[in-house]
A = this chain, B = another copy of it.
Amino acid sequence: MAESLEPEDIELGPVLSALADPHRRHVIHELVNDTDGSERPCTSFGLDLSKSTRSHHFKVLRQAGLVHQVDRGNRSGVTLRRADLDARFPGLLSLIGSEKES
């Protein structure tokens, strides 16, 4: 789980692909609007999914460079890579954060 892309290796294709999924976009929407930027447990986003499916979605987000994920033993926490993403793709996070979710 430690692997993380370097900021300059974050690419728009995988980022958009990750965000095309509504569950993953929901996670990023929540993180964008958590303005304190604190770490969130992966279980805190109200995703009604099996553990393995939820893990898959967080892996996609992590591998695209959208989040950092850390293993806390009995749980896993994520933080948004806000500064990296704002530097690489200005406007992207506000676009996701302002989406009206249905």
Q: Hey, which bits of chain A sit against chain B, CB under 8 A?
A: 12-14, 16-17, 19-22, 25, 89-92, 94-96, 99
Contact = CB atoms under 8 A, between A and B. Distances in A.
How many of these chains are in the complex? 2
A16 B13 contact: no
Contacts of A92: 91, 95
A12 B99 contact: yes
12 contacts: A12-B25, A13-B20, A13-B21, A13-B22, A14-B20, A16-B19, A89-B95, A90-B95, A91-B91, A91-B94, A92-B95, A95-B95
A92 to B, nearest CB: 6
A23 to B, nearest CB: 11
